[in-house]
């Protein structure tokens, strides 16, 4: 049967980081004398690489301004982390789910729009790093929904596509899974609506961690 691989998105799937992202984005826009979009708009770009996200949030900005906004966002987020105010809490039940999947023999990975540094800090803070054998970020890959991050996870683990599941909270995650030819499961506690994820290719959208656990278990028994 081969080994099974579960690839998780991070922001909006493992951790609730929308407040930290919005604060840093607002600081980046303020540094340029600009008014940031509403947080309801900012939360919708979570998961994209920063360049793609900024193109959507500031479509009128020229290339130089857009690049400067990206740099200002990174600076603002680093400053928040240095000040000890980055929260990024795990969603309830996620830590136990990850531990249980690892104990059950699942290979685990992450495919995220975060930076390498941001992902490492997040996983270390929550004691999850040791459970994941493959980690891929926007630092080294094109933005979702390009399948490059999933392809890299498959290469790292040797898992078959048929035994691989991508778990995320956005249409970008689901489209990435479809583009890579792997199974897609959405979660409804993140930043996109379930109907958007279904439209993008999700086979199912879990309404709770318990339901996600059941969906993953079902993949191994089918």
Q: Catalytic positions, please?
A: 9, 11
Tell me which residue of 77, 167, 166 sits closest to 122, measured CA to CA. Answer: 77
CB of 107 closer than 8 Å to CB of 5: yes
Residues in contact with 101: Cβ distance below 8 Å, sequence separation at least 6, in sequence order: 6, 108, 131, 216
Residue 163: burial class (beta carbons within 10 Å; 0-12, 13-18, 19+): buried
Sheet strand arrangement including 204-206: 134-137, 107-112, 5-8, 164-168, 183-187, 204-206
CB of 25 closer than 8 Å to CB of 36: yes
Residues in contact with 124: Cβ distance below 8 Å, sequence separation at least 6, in sequence order: none
CB of 33 closer than 8 Å to CB of 211: no
């Amino acid at each position: 049967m081969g080994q099974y691989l579960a690839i998780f998105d991070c922001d909006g799937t493992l951790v609730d980081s929308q407040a930290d992202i919005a604060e840093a984005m607002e600081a980046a826009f303020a540094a340029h004398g600009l008014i940031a979009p509403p947080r309801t708009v900012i939360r919708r770009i979570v998961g994209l690489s920063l360049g793609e996200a900024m193109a959507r949030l500031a479509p009128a900005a020229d290339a130089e301004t857009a690049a400067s906004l990206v740099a200002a966002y990174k600076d603002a987020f680093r400053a928040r982390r240095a000040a000890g105010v980055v929260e990024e809490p795990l969603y309830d039940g996620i830590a136990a789910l990850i531990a249980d999947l690892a104990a059950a023999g699942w290979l685990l990975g992450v495919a995220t729009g975060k930076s390498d540094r941001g992902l490492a800090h997040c996983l270390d803070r929550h004691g999850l790093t040791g459970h994941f054998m493959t980690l891929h970020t926007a630092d080294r890959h094109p933005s979702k929904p390009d399948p490059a991050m999933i392809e890299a996870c498959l290469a790292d683990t040797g898992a078959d596509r048929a035994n691989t599941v991508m778990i995320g909270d956005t249409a970008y995650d689901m489209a990435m899974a479809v583009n890579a030819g792997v199974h897609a499961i959405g979660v409804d506690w993140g930043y996109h609506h379930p109907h958007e994820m279904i439209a993008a290719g999700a086979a199912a959208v879990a309404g709770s961690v318990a339901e996600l656990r059941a969906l993953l278990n079902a993949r191994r028994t089918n």
